[in-house]
């Protein structure tokens, strides 16, 4: 039973981390293309950059949330305290990043 739990957990972690990778990669590519297009456009005012940043931040928040979910699941199969401490540190860092990104998004939404 424990063997199957370990396999299913590892598959879930790989799937969720892959989803995070796709979300962050897609968001980064989209932000790059939109930013490049806005920079090269002679008629582009400064306002589109704020929208590009806000949209990119939403992608990053989604990706960080998926990564945090994978970390939480990984603690279920972590064999020792060192691994659990490492995962806790990663979770804290990602949670703070997520908090500040969401705060910036809320500020951007209020300013628009």
Q: Give the model confidence (pLDDT) of 38-76 as tens digits.
A: 888 777 666 677 788 889 988 988 998 898 888 888 887
Amino acid 49: pLDDT: 79
Which range marks the domain in which residue 45 is found?
2-111
Contacts of 28 (CB under 8 A, 6+ apart): 56, 59
Contact 17, 70 (CB under 8 A): yes
Q: What is the reported pTM?
A: 0.76
Contact 63, 91 (CB under 8 A): no
Over residues 80-84, mean pLDDT: 79
* Overall domain count for the chain: 1
Amino acid 41: pLDDT: 78
Contact 23, 66 (CB under 8 A): yes
């Amino acid at each position: 039973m424990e063997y199957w739990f370990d396999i299913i957990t590892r598959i879930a972690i790989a799937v969720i981390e892959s989803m995070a990778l796709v979300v962050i990669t897609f968001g980064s590519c989209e932000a790059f293309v939109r930013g490049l297009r806005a920079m090269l456009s002679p008629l582009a005012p400064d306002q589109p950059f704020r929208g590009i940043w806000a949209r990119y931040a939403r992608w990053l928040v989604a990706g960080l949330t998926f990564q945090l979910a994978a970390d939480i699941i990984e603690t279920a199969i972590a064999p020792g305290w060192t691994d659990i401490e490492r995962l806790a540190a990663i979770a804290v860092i990602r949670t703070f990043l997520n908090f500040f990104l969401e705060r910036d998004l809320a500020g951007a939404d209020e300013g628009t």
